[in-house]
Amino acid sequence: MAREKTSPRNKTSPGPTHKGGTRRRSPQIQKPKSRIQQANERKIIDAAIKQFSRHGFRGTTIDQIAHRAKLSKPNLLYYFKTKEALYAQSLNYVLDIWLSPLETLNPDDDPETALSNYIEKKMELSRKHPDASRMFAMEIIEGAKTVRSVLDTRLAALTKSKRRVLAKWSREGKLARIDGAHLLFAIWAVTQHYADFEAQVLSQTGKTLRDRQFFEEATDTIKRIIFHGVIR
């Protein structure tokens, strides 16, 4: 509702999700992209993620992104026809980053190893890509209008499969008898908190995940809480 009002014309295009385009023409209608083109698009998307993650869609101006990417505003719009399209493509990037750790949760490991690896991957993501994490968080808080379809399909399929793994471990007596969905939410929430609420964490502890020791301490404490609880 806020978004439509921005633009006079209502382009419904989230743009083609096409990515990883190779140099030689693939058997599609799409034109191949030159090297400058790819480099510029990448620069723009990086700048866009930084800006969108701090100010949201409406709070960000094309000018700010262009300035960050060291391009002029019309030049940026040469690569991405509309602000909407740029937002959608940036979010696609973020989504790929966000989804990848979950795929590695291995059913053949024992639960402690598998969850330990998963928590570490999520924490590394919070450390290396806090902007991506924040942009994703904002999109969800704002109602997930743009990514809802991905959540309903790709993420839903992934969580369903991983919940089956967790349920199996439960039946085997290796894991507490709890609903896997809530366990996944808990892991997402706790690990992303250090990126999304960085300002608050910084205010209360004076540290961020860029502090190596703090990072280790946080990761270790999260594992201990989730694996063995705090009540003695």
Interface with DNA (CB under 7 A): 5-9, 11, 33-34, 36-37, 40, 60-63, 71-75, 77-78, 81-84
CA-based end-to-end distance of the chain:
50
Closest separation between CB of residue 144 and its own copies, Å?
4
Q: Which residues contact 99 (CB under 8 A, 6 or more apart)?
A: 154, 155, 158
Closest separation between CB of residue 43 and DNA, Å?
10
Q: What type of residue sits at position 158?
A: L
- Asked if 49 contacts 135 with a C-beta cutoff of 8 angstroms, the reply is yes
73 lies in the binding site for its own copies (CB under 8 A): no
113 lies in the binding site for its own copies (CB under 8 A): no
**Which of DNA, its own copies, none binds 34 (CB below 5-8 Å, type-dependent)?**
DNA
Largest CA distance in the chain: 63
Closest residue by Cα to residue 102 from 121, 116, 89, 127: 121
103 lies in the binding site for its own copies (CB under 8 A): no
Closest separation between CB of residue 98 and DNA, Å?
25
* Contact track, its own copies, 138-177, x by CB under 8 A: x-xxxxx---x--xx--xx--x-------------xxxx-
Closest separation between CB of residue 91 and DNA, Å?
16
Closest separation between CB of residue 33 and its own copies, Å?
31
- Rounded distance, CA 209 to CA 207, Å? 7
**Which of its own copies, DNA, none binds 117 (CB below 5-8 Å, type-dependent)?**
none
- Asked if 104 contacts 118 with a C-beta cutoff of 8 angstroms, the reply is yes
- Rounded distance, CA 96 to CA 49, Å? 13
23 lies in the binding site for its own copies (CB under 8 A): no
**Which of its own copies, DNA, none binds 120 (CB below 5-8 Å, type-dependent)?**
none
| Residue whose entry in the numeric block shows the structure tokens 């209608």 | 29
